[in-house]
Structure 1
Amino acid sequence: MTGLDPRGPRFVAAVTAVVLVVVLVTGSGWLTLAQTAAFALGSVDPGWNPYALVYRWLVRPRLRPPTEKESPEPVRFAQRVGLAFLAVATVGYLGGLTGLGATFAGLGLAAAFLNAAFGLCLGCEVYVALQRTRRTS
Protein backbone atom coordinates (compact mmCIF):
# COMPACT_ATOMS: atom_id res chain seq x y z
CA MET A 1 0.00 0.00 0.00
CA THR A 2 1.56 3.31 -1.08
CA GLY A 3 0.71 6.74 0.21
CA LEU A 4 0.66 8.55 3.51
CA ASP A 5 -0.55 7.35 6.86
CA PRO A 6 -3.37 9.91 7.41
CA ARG A 7 -2.44 10.19 11.08
CA GLY A 8 0.91 11.73 10.09
CA PRO A 9 -0.47 14.93 8.54
CA ARG A 10 -2.78 15.36 11.53
CA PHE A 11 0.19 15.04 13.87
CA VAL A 12 2.09 17.59 11.76
CA ALA A 13 -0.92 19.91 11.93
CA ALA A 14 -1.10 19.56 15.72
CA VAL A 15 2.56 20.46 16.17
CA THR A 16 2.17 23.31 13.68
CA ALA A 17 -0.81 24.63 15.66
CA VAL A 18 1.25 24.64 18.86
CA VAL A 19 4.13 26.42 17.12
CA LEU A 20 1.75 29.04 15.71
CA VAL A 21 0.19 29.65 19.12
CA VAL A 22 3.70 30.34 20.43
CA VAL A 23 4.33 32.62 17.43
CA LEU A 24 1.17 34.60 18.15
CA VAL A 25 1.94 34.87 21.87
CA THR A 26 5.58 35.89 21.42
CA GLY A 27 5.50 37.65 18.03
CA SER A 28 8.70 35.80 17.13
CA GLY A 29 9.62 36.34 13.51
CA TRP A 30 12.42 33.79 13.83
CA LEU A 31 10.05 31.06 14.99
CA THR A 32 7.74 32.04 12.13
CA LEU A 33 10.70 31.63 9.78
CA ALA A 34 11.41 28.17 11.23
CA GLN A 35 7.78 27.15 10.63
CA THR A 36 8.03 28.53 7.09
CA ALA A 37 11.09 26.33 6.55
CA ALA A 38 9.19 23.30 7.84
CA PHE A 39 6.44 24.02 5.30
CA ALA A 40 9.05 24.50 2.56
CA LEU A 41 10.46 21.04 3.23
CA GLY A 42 6.97 19.52 3.38
CA SER A 43 6.02 21.20 0.12
CA VAL A 44 8.71 19.17 -1.67
CA ASP A 45 7.68 15.93 0.02
CA PRO A 46 5.24 15.82 2.96
CA GLY A 47 7.51 13.26 4.63
CA TRP A 48 10.34 15.80 4.74
CA ASN A 49 8.52 18.14 7.12
CA PRO A 50 10.52 17.87 10.38
CA TYR A 51 7.33 17.12 12.34
CA ALA A 52 6.54 14.29 9.91
CA LEU A 53 9.96 12.85 10.63
CA VAL A 54 9.20 12.95 14.37
CA TYR A 55 5.92 11.17 13.66
CA ARG A 56 7.60 8.53 11.49
CA TRP A 57 10.48 7.83 13.89
CA LEU A 58 8.88 8.24 17.32
CA VAL A 59 5.09 8.03 17.09
CA ARG A 60 4.15 5.67 14.24
CA PRO A 61 6.21 2.71 15.57
CA ARG A 62 4.01 2.77 18.69
CA LEU A 63 0.74 2.64 16.72
CA ARG A 64 -1.06 -0.05 14.81
CA PRO A 65 -0.56 0.04 11.05
CA PRO A 66 -2.96 2.40 9.29
CA THR A 67 -6.10 0.82 7.86
CA GLU A 68 -5.86 3.03 4.78
CA LYS A 69 -3.46 5.48 3.21
CA GLU A 70 -3.98 8.75 1.37
CA SER A 71 -2.39 10.38 -1.63
CA PRO A 72 0.49 12.70 -0.82
CA GLU A 73 -0.48 15.21 -3.53
CA PRO A 74 -3.23 17.06 -1.59
CA VAL A 75 -0.98 17.18 1.49
CA ARG A 76 1.91 18.54 -0.60
CA PHE A 77 -0.41 21.23 -1.96
CA ALA A 78 -1.57 22.08 1.58
CA GLN A 79 2.06 22.42 2.68
CA ARG A 80 2.60 24.86 -0.21
CA VAL A 81 -0.41 26.90 0.89
CA GLY A 82 0.97 26.94 4.43
CA LEU A 83 4.34 27.98 3.04
CA ALA A 84 2.77 30.95 1.24
CA PHE A 85 0.82 32.09 4.31
CA LEU A 86 3.76 31.71 6.68
CA ALA A 87 6.12 33.43 4.24
CA VAL A 88 3.85 36.48 4.43
CA ALA A 89 3.72 36.14 8.23
CA THR A 90 7.52 35.95 8.36
CA VAL A 91 7.91 39.06 6.23
CA GLY A 92 5.41 40.80 8.47
CA TYR A 93 7.07 39.90 11.75
CA LEU A 94 10.66 40.36 10.62
CA GLY A 95 9.78 43.54 8.69
CA GLY A 96 8.11 45.22 11.65
CA LEU A 97 4.57 44.75 10.32
CA THR A 98 3.33 42.84 13.33
CA GLY A 99 -0.34 43.07 12.31
CA LEU A 100 0.41 41.44 8.96
CA GLY A 101 2.48 38.74 10.65
CA ALA A 102 -0.18 38.04 13.25
CA THR A 103 -2.98 37.95 10.66
CA PHE A 104 -1.28 35.39 8.45
CA ALA A 105 0.02 33.35 11.40
CA GLY A 106 -3.55 33.35 12.75
CA LEU A 107 -4.93 32.11 9.44
CA GLY A 108 -2.30 29.37 9.44
CA LEU A 109 -3.24 28.47 13.01
CA ALA A 110 -6.92 28.22 12.08
CA ALA A 111 -6.15 25.83 9.21
CA ALA A 112 -3.73 23.74 11.29
CA PHE A 113 -6.22 23.51 14.17
CA LEU A 114 -9.05 22.35 11.86
CA ASN A 115 -6.82 19.60 10.50
CA ALA A 116 -5.46 18.54 13.89
CA ALA A 117 -8.77 18.59 15.75
CA PHE A 118 -11.26 17.53 13.08
CA GLY A 119 -9.25 16.02 10.22
CA LEU A 120 -10.37 18.86 7.93
CA CYS A 121 -7.42 19.79 5.74
CA LEU A 122 -8.41 23.04 4.03
CA GLY A 123 -5.49 22.94 1.60
CA CYS A 124 -6.38 19.36 0.67
CA GLU A 125 -9.99 20.37 0.03
CA VAL A 126 -8.84 23.23 -2.23
CA TYR A 127 -6.58 20.79 -4.08
CA VAL A 128 -9.49 18.39 -4.70
CA ALA A 129 -11.73 21.25 -5.85
CA LEU A 130 -9.07 22.47 -8.27
CA GLN A 131 -8.65 18.95 -9.66
CA ARG A 132 -12.42 18.72 -10.26
CA THR A 133 -12.40 22.10 -11.97
CA ARG A 134 -9.58 21.04 -14.27
CA ARG A 135 -11.41 17.83 -15.24
CA THR A 136 -14.62 19.64 -16.14
CA SER A 137 -12.96 22.40 -18.19
Structure 2
Amino acid sequence: MLSIPRVDAHMLKFSQSCVLVLVGLSFLLNLPILVLITGLALALSAIFPAASPFKFVYRQVIVRAGWLKPRLVEDDPAPHRFAQGVGATFLLAASILFFLTSATLAGWILTIIVFVLAAINVFVGFCAGCLVYYYLGRWGLMPRVRYDGGFRWRGV
Protein backbone atom coordinates (compact mmCIF):
# COMPACT_ATOMS: atom_id res chain seq x y z
CA MET A 1 0.00 0.00 0.00
CA LEU A 2 1.27 3.47 -0.91
CA SER A 3 2.14 5.60 2.10
CA ILE A 4 1.03 9.21 1.85
CA PRO A 5 3.67 11.57 3.28
CA ARG A 6 2.58 13.88 6.06
CA VAL A 7 4.00 16.97 7.66
CA ASP A 8 3.13 18.79 10.85
CA ALA A 9 1.75 22.10 9.59
CA HIS A 10 2.11 23.70 13.01
CA MET A 11 5.77 22.70 13.22
CA LEU A 12 6.43 24.22 9.78
CA LYS A 13 4.73 27.47 10.84
CA PHE A 14 6.66 27.47 14.13
CA SER A 15 9.95 26.97 12.30
CA GLN A 16 9.22 29.84 9.91
CA SER A 17 8.17 32.02 12.83
CA CYS A 18 11.50 31.30 14.55
CA VAL A 19 13.37 32.27 11.39
CA LEU A 20 11.30 35.44 11.12
CA VAL A 21 11.98 36.46 14.73
CA LEU A 22 15.69 35.58 14.74
CA VAL A 23 16.42 37.26 11.42
CA GLY A 24 14.33 40.31 12.37
CA LEU A 25 16.17 40.66 15.67
CA SER A 26 19.52 40.26 13.96
CA PHE A 27 18.72 43.22 11.72
CA LEU A 28 17.12 45.42 14.38
CA LEU A 29 19.93 44.81 16.88
CA ASN A 30 22.69 44.69 14.24
CA LEU A 31 23.73 41.20 15.37
CA PRO A 32 25.11 39.29 12.38
CA ILE A 33 25.89 36.37 14.71
CA LEU A 34 22.13 35.67 14.85
CA VAL A 35 22.15 35.42 11.06
CA LEU A 36 24.88 32.78 11.28
CA ILE A 37 23.07 30.86 14.05
CA THR A 38 19.79 30.91 12.12
CA GLY A 39 21.53 29.84 8.92
CA LEU A 40 23.20 26.92 10.70
CA ALA A 41 19.88 25.91 12.29
CA LEU A 42 18.17 25.97 8.89
CA ALA A 43 21.00 24.00 7.28
CA LEU A 44 20.78 21.35 10.00
CA SER A 45 16.99 21.22 9.59
CA ALA A 46 17.28 20.78 5.82
CA ILE A 47 20.04 18.16 5.89
CA PHE A 48 19.03 16.23 9.03
CA PRO A 49 15.33 16.97 9.72
CA ALA A 50 15.31 14.79 12.84
CA ALA A 51 18.05 16.99 14.35
CA SER A 52 16.28 20.29 13.62
CA PRO A 53 16.69 22.73 16.53
CA PHE A 54 13.31 24.26 15.64
CA LYS A 55 11.64 20.84 15.72
CA PHE A 56 13.30 20.10 19.08
CA VAL A 57 12.00 23.32 20.69
CA TYR A 58 8.59 22.81 19.09
CA ARG A 59 8.19 19.26 20.40
CA GLN A 60 9.92 19.62 23.77
CA VAL A 61 8.57 23.03 24.76
CA ILE A 62 5.65 24.19 22.65
CA VAL A 63 3.77 20.88 22.29
CA ARG A 64 4.58 19.67 25.83
CA ALA A 65 3.32 22.94 27.29
CA GLY A 66 0.11 22.49 25.30
CA TRP A 67 0.50 25.75 23.39
CA LEU A 68 0.18 23.94 20.06
CA LYS A 69 -0.87 20.46 19.06
CA PRO A 70 0.58 18.73 16.01
CA ARG A 71 -1.56 19.14 12.89
CA LEU A 72 -0.56 16.45 10.43
CA VAL A 73 -1.50 17.14 6.83
CA GLU A 74 -0.87 15.21 3.64
CA ASP A 75 2.10 16.94 2.07
CA ASP A 76 5.53 16.12 0.72
CA PRO A 77 8.24 17.28 3.16
CA ALA A 78 10.88 17.54 0.41
CA PRO A 79 9.83 20.99 -0.89
CA HIS A 80 9.87 22.35 2.65
CA ARG A 81 13.37 20.96 3.25
CA PHE A 82 14.46 22.48 -0.06
CA ALA A 83 13.08 25.87 1.04
CA GLN A 84 14.96 25.55 4.33
CA GLY A 85 18.10 24.79 2.36
CA VAL A 86 17.63 27.88 0.20
CA GLY A 87 17.11 30.03 3.31
CA ALA A 88 20.18 28.48 4.91
CA THR A 89 22.22 29.18 1.79
CA PHE A 90 21.19 32.85 1.78
CA LEU A 91 21.88 33.28 5.50
CA LEU A 92 25.21 31.46 5.41
CA ALA A 93 26.25 33.52 2.37
CA ALA A 94 25.24 36.63 4.30
CA SER A 95 27.35 35.44 7.23
CA ILE A 96 30.37 35.05 4.96
CA LEU A 97 29.80 38.60 3.76
CA PHE A 98 29.52 39.87 7.34
CA PHE A 99 32.50 38.07 8.83
CA LEU A 100 34.95 37.61 5.96
CA THR A 101 34.41 40.70 3.78
CA SER A 102 33.40 44.30 4.18
CA ALA A 103 30.24 43.79 2.09
CA THR A 104 27.84 44.09 5.01
CA LEU A 105 25.18 45.81 2.90
CA ALA A 106 25.03 42.78 0.60
CA GLY A 107 24.80 40.55 3.69
CA TRP A 108 21.85 42.52 5.03
CA ILE A 109 20.14 42.40 1.63
CA LEU A 110 20.35 38.58 1.62
CA THR A 111 19.12 38.54 5.21
CA ILE A 112 16.17 40.81 4.44
CA ILE A 113 15.20 38.58 1.49
CA VAL A 114 14.95 35.64 3.90
CA PHE A 115 13.00 37.78 6.36
CA VAL A 116 10.47 38.88 3.72
CA LEU A 117 9.99 35.35 2.34
CA ALA A 118 9.59 33.93 5.86
CA ALA A 119 7.03 36.64 6.64
CA ILE A 120 5.06 35.82 3.49
CA ASN A 121 5.10 32.15 4.49
CA VAL A 122 4.00 32.85 8.07
CA PHE A 123 1.30 35.42 7.30
CA VAL A 124 0.04 34.39 3.84
CA GLY A 125 0.89 30.69 3.77
CA PHE A 126 2.87 30.88 0.53
CA CYS A 127 6.26 29.13 0.43
CA ALA A 128 8.42 30.65 -2.32
CA GLY A 129 11.11 27.99 -1.88
CA CYS A 130 8.48 25.29 -2.34
CA LEU A 131 7.32 26.98 -5.55
CA VAL A 132 10.90 26.92 -6.87
CA TYR A 133 11.12 23.24 -5.95
CA TYR A 134 7.94 22.45 -7.90
CA TYR A 135 9.12 24.32 -10.98
CA LEU A 136 12.48 22.54 -10.81
CA GLY A 137 10.47 19.31 -10.68
CA ARG A 138 8.52 20.30 -13.79
CA TRP A 139 11.82 20.88 -15.59
CA GLY A 140 13.17 17.48 -14.46
CA LEU A 141 15.72 18.90 -12.03
CA MET A 142 13.96 17.69 -8.86
CA PRO A 143 11.54 14.86 -8.12
CA ARG A 144 8.19 15.80 -9.62
CA VAL A 145 5.26 16.61 -7.36
CA ARG A 146 1.83 17.86 -8.24
CA TYR A 147 0.04 21.04 -7.28
CA ASP A 148 -3.36 20.65 -5.63
CA GLY A 149 -4.90 23.97 -6.75
CA GLY A 150 -4.39 26.23 -3.71
CA PHE A 151 -1.44 27.52 -1.79
CA ARG A 152 -0.86 23.96 -0.57
CA TRP A 153 1.14 21.50 -2.56
CA ARG A 154 1.09 17.72 -2.38
CA GLY A 155 3.46 15.02 -3.43
CA VAL A 156 2.36 12.33 -5.85
* Higher Cα radius of gyration: 2
Q: Which runs of 5+ in 2 are unaligned?
A: 145-156
Q: Show the counterpart of 2:79.
A: 74
Q: Which runs of 5+ in 1 are unaligned?
A: none
Q: Percent identity at matched positions? A: 29
The alignment partner of 2:6 has SS state of coil
Alpha carbons of structure 1 residues 25 and 67: separation in structure 2 relative to 1, 3 Å: closer
Alpha carbons of structure 1 residues 45 and 119: separation in structure 2 relative to 1, 3 Å: farther
User: Displacement, 1:102?
Assistant: 0.7
Say which structure is richer in helix: 1
The alignment partner of 2:62 has SS state of helix
2:13 maps to amino acid:
R
**Is 2:97 aligned against 1:92?**
yes
Between 1 and 2, higher relative CO (CA 8 Å, sep ≥ 6) is seen in: 1
Find runs of 4+ consecutive structure 1 residues off by over 3 angstroms. Answer: none
Distance 2:95 2:60 in 1: 29
Distance 1:7 1:45 in 2: 19
Distance 1:41 1:65 in 2: 21
Q: TM-score, normalised by structure 2?
A: 0.77
CA-to-aligned-CA distance 1:10-62 (integer Å, 9 cap, x gap): 11111110111111112222111111110110111334321122112222352
Alpha carbons of structure 1 residues 25 and 132: separation in structure 2 relative to 1, 3 Å: same
CA-to-aligned-CA distance 1:93-116 (integer Å, 9 cap, x gap): 213321011100000101111111
Between 96-105 and 42-51, the greater mean CA deviation after superposition: 42-51
The alignment partner of 1:4 has SS state of strand
1:27 maps to amino acid:
N
1:26 maps to amino acid:
L
Which runs of structure 2 are paired with 1:100-111 in the superposition (5 Å)? 100-111=106-117
Q: TM-score, normalised by structure 1?
A: 0.87
Between 4-13 and 53-62, the greater mean CA deviation after superposition: 53-62
1:123 maps to amino acid:
G
Checking the alignment, whether the CA contact within 8 Å between 2:94 and 2:110 is kept in structure 1 is yes
What RMSD over aligned residues (CA atoms) do the two structures have, in Å? 1.9
Distance 1:68 1:102 in 2: 35
Checking the alignment, whether the CA contact within 8 Å between 2:11 and 2:58 is kept in structure 1 is yes
| Equivalent in 30, 38, 41 of residue 27 of structure 1 | 30
